[in-house]
Homo-oligomer: A and B are copies of this chain.
Amino acid sequence: MIQFTADELRDTATRIFRAAGADPEPTAILVNHLIDANLAGHDSHGVIRIPAYIQAILRGQIQPNARPSIIQETPVSALVDGNWAFGQISARYGIDVAIAKAKAQGVAVVGVVRCNHIGRLGTYSTLAAKQGVVAMVTIGSIGNSTAPFGGRKGAFGTNPFSFGFPAGDRPDVMVDFATSAIAGGKVQVARAKHEPVPPGSLLDKNGQPTTDPNAYFDGGMLLPFGGHKGSALATLSVLLSHVLTGAYNFTDKTSLTGTFMLAIDAGLFRDRAAVEADADRVLGKIKDVPPAPGFDEVLVPGEPEVRTAERRLKEGIPVAEDTWAEIVAAAQSVGVTLEKK
- Taking a contact as CB atoms under 8 Å apart, the answer to whether A173 and B236 are in contact is yes
Majority SS at the chain A contact face: mixed
Could you tell me the distance between the alpha carbons of A275 and B238 in the complex, rounded to whole angstroms? 12
Report A174 CB to chain B, min CB distance, Å.
Answer: 9
Q: Select from chain B the residue with minimum beta-carbon distance to A203.
A: B292
Report A9 CB to chain B, min CB distance, Å.
Answer: 27
Closest 6 CB pairs of A and B: A226-B226, A151-B289, A150-B295, A175-B232, A232-B301, A152-B292
- Taking a contact as CB atoms under 8 Å apart, the answer to whether A109 and B244 are in contact is no
- A262 within 8 Å of B (CB atoms): yes
Report A201 CB to chain B, min CB distance, Å.
Answer: 12
Interface locus among A34-42, A52-60, A141-149, A326-334: A141-149
Note all chain B residues with C-beta closer than 8 A to A283: 235
- A86 within 8 Å of B (CB atoms): no
Note all chain B residues with C-beta closer than 8 A to A233: 175
- Taking a contact as CB atoms under 8 Å apart, the answer to whether B175 and A236 are in contact is yes
Interface extent on A, as a size class?
Answer: 35 or more
- A134 within 8 Å of B (CB atoms): yes
A201-240, CB under 8 A of B: which get 1 and which 0?
Answer: 0000001000000000000000001101111110110111
Report A290 CB to chain B, min CB distance, Å.
Answer: 6
- A320 within 8 Å of B (CB atoms): no
Interface locus among A10-18, A24-32, A188-196, A266-274: A266-274
Note all chain B residues with C-beta closer than 8 A to A74: 105-106
- Taking a contact as CB atoms under 8 Å apart, the answer to whether A274 and B246 are in contact is yes
- Can you offer 24 A-B residue contacts whose CB atoms are under 8 A? A76-B106, A77-B269, A107-B109, A134-B244, A148-B286, A150-B291, A150-B292, A150-B299, A151-B295, A151-B298, A163-B236, A173-B236, A207-B292, A225-B226, A229-B230, A232-B301, A235-B283, A236-B301, A238-B282, A243-B282, A244-B266, A246-B270, A249-B274, A249-B278
Report A248 CB to chain B, min CB distance, Å.
Answer: 5
Could you tell me the distance between the alpha carbons of A240 and B175 in the complex, rounded to whole angstroms? 13
Note all chain B residues with C-beta closer than 8 A to A126: none
- A264 within 8 Å of B (CB atoms): yes
Report A143 CB to chain B, min CB distance, Å.
Answer: 10
A271-314, CB under 8 A of B: which get 1 and which 0?
Answer: 00011001101110110111111010111110000000000000
